[in-house]
Amino acid sequence: MYTILVVDDSPFIVDVFINMLERGGYRAIAAYSGQECLDILKDVTPDLILLDIMMEPMDGWETLENIKNNPATKDIPVLMLTAKQLTSEEVQEYGMYIEDYVLKPITHKELYDAIENVMRRRSTINMNVEAAKNVGFDQRLLDEYARLSKSVDVNKRLLKILETTYNVHDSKVKLSEKISSTIKGMSMSIKFQEERLGHIREELNKVVDTKVTERQS
């Protein structure tokens, strides 16, 4: 059973998500402000945080930065939760910190799918890293593999959100230079990250093949 921390300054919204999570078999904890979230994290380490963006006085982005700048909490996955669309500036500044972006209102299934996708991705990455470590793969490359595996998946999701938000594929829509530049930059970044990830996998396969050959000799 995963423990999910729900952070929103609206008690009504928190209650809605707590109810949805408990119906889905999750253990849910409530925080009604960014500061309360940070205080709870001093004593509790949830499996995942659902964090609203539009809060006062500490908004979700500031709360996120506090979570990710603290060595004790930086590895906790965070799904940003909001009724507003992401801006290109937010994607560029905070994209590296988040696991996904959940838009309110959301159905039970959409929420559960988002949570399970994050947890499944983390589990797969950790399993692959552990297996590679067991065959003596370089730790520096393992760290890069883990970072890129998550980054590619998250950035593809964020890129899709931006493309949908700004109707990129509608020829009648004229994009601003800023939006166009952000989308083009993200596309190129994803391409480079995927290429690098492919090279690391090739190196890993070589190490595995070498180990197999040594055992057969």
pLDDT single digits (tens) 17-49: 999 999 999 999 999 999 999 999 999 999 999
Over range 183-191, report the average pLDDT. Answer: 91
In the structure encoding, which two tokens stand for residue 192, read together?
């480079």
**C-alpha to C-alpha distance for 52 and 63, rounded to whole angstroms:** 9
Mapping DSSP to helix (H, G, I), strand (E, B) and coil, where does residue 77 land? coil
**C-alpha to C-alpha distance for 38 and 59, rounded to whole angstroms:** 12
Contact 14, 28 (CB under 8 A): no
pLDDT single digits (tens) 127-161: 989 988 888 888 999 999 999 999 998 888 888 88
Over range 102-111, report the average pLDDT. Answer: 90
Mind listing the domains of the chain with CATH numbers?
3-216 (3.40.50.2300)
Q: What is the pTM of this model?
A: 0.84
- Bond prior to 105 in cis (omega within 30° of 0): yes
Average pLDDT over all residues of the chain: 90
Contact 77, 120 (CB under 8 A): no
